Structure 1
Amino acid sequence: MTEVHDRPDLAALVGSRICHDLISPIGAIGNGVELMLMEGAAKGPEMALITESVGHANARIRFFRVAFGASGADQRIGRSEVLSVISDMTHGGRVQIDWESPADLPRRDVKLVFLLILCLESALPYGGQVQVDRNEARWALRATAPKMKVDESLWEGLINPAGLTDIGPAQVQFLLVPDEITRQHRRLTTELAATEIRLSF
């Protein structure tokens, strides 16, 4: 029987293809808006909305490219790029992310952390804080908020994915994390509380 880590990661390949095909036209729209503003286009609320929306779309695509895209065992990503993606994605949002890590990181590690951040976001519909730390041995993520919305069946599925039977598009990250954990030969630990979630691998 073929092991998960021996199979091509079809979901990641599809994710890479979609993000690759979308990031260029979204960037072009952003450049076009900048040119319009430089040439004296009206700076009203309509233009501000377009600028903000394009910036947010570009940030999410960059984040999704890492979270859902393919990542080879030898690929690296710099902390500065990670911080840029996170800063752009959370700008003006209700969830803030504090990232502490070495300067040079395995892209596969960051892919898994980004997927877990998406899981944490689902528990923070009212906003909150996510702390990401990398020590010498493990990654640790901690989400805190005065009020959380935790679907325990989804979180239990990170450890026992066979129990995840009714998943919608907004929860797909809960299906992808166990496969990625297996591919990387890691072990995920989870701790759930009323106002705090801790994850480590």
Structure 2
Amino acid sequence: MSPVPAEPDLVALVGSRLCHDLISPLGAIGNGVELISMTGAAGGPEIEMIAQSVAAANARIRFFRLAFGRATDQPVGRGEIVSMLSEYGRDGRTRYLWQPEGEQPRRLVKLALLAVLCIEPALPRGGEIRVSTAEGRWTVRGEARQTRNDPGLWAHLDDNGTDALSPAQVQFALLPREARAAGRSVGWALDDTSAEIRF
């Protein structure tokens, strides 16, 4: 009997499709704003606000494309990730540090970014989120003066289903599922000043 082919990951395909389709119009808006600024026909805070909003939206789409899109072993360059995180955090109170050197498999970058999304709600007043690797294990650690300690939410990282999760919390269900598909397990720790996820 021939093996049954694996079903496509519809969630990831939908995520990739949405991000792909939104990138082009956002890019067109950004180009339009740039052309208006170059002609001098209009300017001022309104155009600057539109330009900043487009840049922020582009950064989020790039982030979501990696976090929610299709996971493969295709490498992602360090420069691309650092640039994306810099733009992603530009207007916020959280600083993002990407420490792994060189290219990394998209599958592991996806896990790291899902972990970042899990840690963000624990830092409601901002802080620092650092991604690092050592001996093949990845650590995503957030630090702040005060964290929001919600162990019930974080218990979903133990693969406890999707009950009571809101759309804004979907990463807590996706991370253990994606980690399992990559042959990894998720560990976590949460206290008054830090939140950490390991895989």
* Category of TM-score, reference length = shorter chain: over 0.9
Work out the percentage of aligned pairs sharing the same amino acid: 49
* TM-score, scaled to structure 1: 0.93
Q: Distance in 2 between matches of 1:174 and 1:76?
A: 24
1:95–1:128 contact (8 Å) kept in structure 2: yes
Q: Distance in 2 between matches of 1:98 and 1:132?
A: 6
**Looking at both structures, which has the greater relative contact order when contacts are Cα pairs under 8 Å and sequence separation is at least 6?**
1
- Residue 125 of structure 2 is matched in structure 1 by 126
SS at match of 1:161: coil
Q: Distance in 2 between matches of 1:12 and 1:150?
A: 29
Deviation at 1:77, TM superposition (A): 0.4
Deviation at 1:149, TM superposition (A): 1.6
Q: Distance in 1 between matches of 2:101 and 2:194?
A: 25
- Paired letter, 1:195: T
1:102–1:134 contact (8 Å) kept in structure 2: no
- Paired letter, 1:128: G
1:161–1:178 contact (8 Å) kept in structure 2: no
- Residue 174 of structure 2 is matched in structure 1 by 176
- State whether structure 2 residue 187 is matched by structure 1 residue 189: yes
- Residue 3 of structure 1 is matched in structure 2 by none
**Aligned counterparts, 1:103-182, within 5 A:** 103-162=102-161, 164-182=162-180
- State whether structure 2 residue 52 is matched by structure 1 residue 52: yes
Please identify runs of 4+ aligned residues in structure 1 that moved more than 3 A.
none
Deviation at 1:126, TM superposition (A): 0.9
1:32-91 deviations in Å (ceiling 9; x for gaps): 10010000033211111101100000000000000000122x311001100011011001
Q: Distance in 1 between matches of 2:57 and 2:93?
A: 16
Distance 1:115 1:157, change over 3 A: same
Give the number of equivalent residue pairs: 194
1:30–1:54 contact (8 Å) kept in structure 2: yes
**Aligned counterparts, 1:29-48, within 5 A:** 29-48=29-48
Deviation at 1:118, TM superposition (A): 0.5
Q: Distance in 1 between matches of 2:69 and 2:83?
A: 18
Q: Distance in 1 between matches of 2:61 and 2:41?
A: 27
- Paired letter, 1:116: A
Which structure 1 segments of 5+ residues have no match?
1-5
Which structure 2 segments of 5+ residues have no match?
1-5
Deviation at 1:136, TM superposition (A): 2.9
Deviation at 1:10, TM superposition (A): 1.1
